[in-house]
Chain A
């Protein structure tokens, strides 16, 4: 099997009760940071049936102000007790120290040398603390910086080459960005993006839906995977070979069966291109 699902609150109990066949579950790391109570126990129960992938949304690896040491320690404790198959976060910034603030969002980094060095330093710091390589996800971004001058795939190639981390390649984010840039053929643009990545540098894929709000495509993880993203998934598997994938659905979360059927469709695509 190729495709797991994001395990979110509405399905905490139903998934453990039914235990459908899945290659792994992905959870948001911060949702399980608690040192006691029901959630850590729930994650341990899930862990006894499924491999767990920990996906963070709060490290802010591209924050020029530095990482929050306390946040990293809580992540390290979670990794130690969960022994996940993968640990990931985003190529974004999230925090500042003047004023002391965290956006609780995935904010855009500049694609320039300074950002690359910041990200390299922070990925190194996280990997040193966790004692394992991590995966770093490409963003959907709605704003840019005037210092951008490195093509995004090239930026990730430099990051993976220098740190040993892998890319968590979010195909929906590629499509969202291509649409928002006004690319004439978003699918072709995204395929070129994927083709520009170093072979072997991708550790996992994300598949999700997006919405259109006021002329802007928004990566809201609130609907089925779009046809363009499915087409890009086929292309990516044919190009990269067997890479695990995940159905990410975070808002208006549907019945578990809907997620499972999306995962089954991804599995079928992987079989069709021989990427299993």
Chain B
């Protein structure tokens, strides 16, 4: 039976439908055609693909329009069928899939990357409450003695195509190509971040001590303003605490 079930699943999500004829033991309901019964499941898979991916990729959907997105969703579904029973976890390869399509512009994959990061941020584990003693610790110790605790849900994306196409003024002002995605309270959020700050927070998120991280960033971006960067991170909820190393 496991083999028969696997074959029906394979047939439903196949590139070219065989109407279920190749699934051993599968039969039509009395008075119905096998093709009609099979089509009910195939059409459900198609509709579900559009619905589930549309929820995960709202900006991409708006950019492409409903018709083009529906075609994309079904093409993706047949190339990367779901593997687990929670539809919200399905679709993480769409940006890569888009990039591999002939003639694809750079913007749709960038939008897909951003959409997916926001989608996952919406349901990520709640971060711990920030440490109320954080600023006292920062003021009491030199940077080289500290390790900062960064929100583990903070995600970084390098999206030059998005910068060029969708936020020219903002991106040009700071020459930013890095996008931070996080959840502010319950709201998935994103922002362009100047490259110097992005580099600092990426290093800190990897557990690097503040001192060496700063040295590395200042070597490339000597104008980095640490106080401003810490203040912004605090307001955005990226910075949860500080420990003396």
Q: Does B32 contact A (CB under 8 A)?
A: yes
Question: Mask for B1-36, Cβ within 8 A of A = 1, else 0?
Answer: 110111011101100000010000111111110101
Q: Does A39 contact B (CB under 8 A)?
A: yes
Is the Cβ of B6 less than 8 Å from the Cβ of A101? Answer: yes
Is the Cβ of B31 less than 8 Å from the Cβ of A182? Answer: yes
Is the Cβ of A71 less than 8 Å from the Cβ of B20? Answer: no
Neighbour of B36 across the interface among A33, A105, A110, A214, CB < 8 A: A214
Residues of B within 8 A of A102 (CB): 81-85
Q: Does A192 contact B (CB under 8 A)?
A: no
* B6, B38, B39, B87: most-surrounded residue (chain A CB, <10 A): B6
Neighbour of A104 across the interface among B90, B125, B183, CB < 8 A: B90
Given A36-B124, A96-B6, also A103-B82 (CB < 8 A): yes
Neighbour of B27 across the interface among A100, A143, A218, CB < 8 A: A143
Is the Cβ of A35 less than 8 Å from the Cβ of B124? Answer: yes
**A-B pair number, CB within 8 angstroms:** 157
Given A99-B10, A146-B25, also A107-B41 (CB < 8 A): yes
Within the complex, the shortest CB–CB distance from A248 to chain B, in Å, comes to 16
Given A105-B41, A215-B36, A218-B40, also A65-B88 (CB < 8 A): no
Interchain CA distance A114-B41 in the complex, whole Å: 23
Q: Does B142 contact A (CB under 8 A)?
A: no
Residues of B within 8 A of A33 (CB): 86, 88, 123
Residues 124-171 (chain A) with a chain B CB within 8 angstroms: 141-147
Is the Cβ of B26 less than 8 Å from the Cβ of A36? Answer: no
Is the Cβ of B38 less than 8 Å from the Cβ of A143? Answer: yes
Q: Does B48 contact A (CB under 8 A)?
A: yes
Residues of B within 8 A of A104 (CB): 45, 48, 52, 82, 85, 87, 90
B25 to chain A: closest residue by CB: A146
Neighbour of B5 across the interface among A37, A71, A96, CB < 8 A: A96
Within the complex, the shortest CB–CB distance from A33 to chain B, in Å, comes to 5
Interchain CA distance A180-B29 in the complex, whole Å: 7
Residues 58-73 (chain A) with a chain B CB within 8 angstroms: 58-60, 63-65, 68, 70-71
Is the Cβ of B122 less than 8 Å from the Cβ of A38? Answer: yes
- Chain B: residues with Cβ within 8 Å of the partner, total of 48
Interchain CA distance A215-B39 in the complex, whole Å: 12
Is the Cβ of B4 less than 8 Å from the Cβ of A145? Answer: yes
Residues of B within 8 A of A96 (CB): 2, 5-6, 9-10
Is the Cβ of A143 less than 8 Å from the Cβ of B41? Answer: yes
Interchain CA distance A182-B29 in the complex, whole Å: 9
Question: Mask for B104-121, Cβ within 8 A of A = 1, else 0?
Answer: 000000000000000000
Interchain CA distance A79-B40 in the complex, whole Å: 32
Neighbour of B30 across the interface among A74, A146, A182, CB < 8 A: A182
Q: Does A206 contact B (CB under 8 A)?
A: no
Residues of A within 8 A of B126 (CB): 35-37
Interchain CA distance A147-B13 in the complex, whole Å: 24
* B4, B9, B122: most-surrounded residue (chain A CB, <10 A): B9
Q: Does B135 contact A (CB under 8 A)?
A: no
* A70, A95, A101: most-surrounded residue (chain B CB, <10 A): A101
Within the complex, the shortest CB–CB distance from A39 to chain B, in Å, comes to 7
Main secondary structure, interface of A, reads: mixed
Is the Cβ of A110 less than 8 Å from the Cβ of B1? Answer: yes
B122 to chain A: closest residue by CB: A37
Residues 123-145 (chain B) with a chain A CB within 8 angstroms: 123-127
Is the Cβ of A37 less than 8 Å from the Cβ of B123? Answer: yes
Q: Does A216 contact B (CB under 8 A)?
A: yes
Is the Cβ of B9 less than 8 Å from the Cβ of A101? Answer: yes
Residues of A within 8 A of B127 (CB): 36
Residues of A within 8 A of B124 (CB): 34-37
Q: Does A249 contact B (CB under 8 A)?
A: no
Given A103-B45, A104-B48, A180-B29, also A142-B37 (CB < 8 A): yes
Interchain CA distance A100-B10 in the complex, whole Å: 10
Residues 84-127 (chain A) with a chain B CB within 8 angstroms: 93-105, 107, 110, 114-115, 118
Residues of A within 8 A of B85 (CB): 30, 57-60, 68, 71, 94-95, 102, 104
The 8 closest A-B pairs by CB, nearest first: A58-B85, A34-B123, A96-B6, A64-B2, A36-B126, A142-B37, A182-B31, A38-B186
What are 26 A-B interface contacts by the 8 Å CB criterion? A34-B88, A34-B122, A34-B123, A37-B122, A64-B5, A68-B84, A71-B85, A74-B86, A95-B85, A96-B6, A101-B13, A101-B81, A101-B83, A102-B83, A103-B12, A103-B41, A104-B90, A107-B8, A107-B9, A110-B25, A141-B29, A143-B26, A146-B25, A181-B30, A214-B39, A216-B40
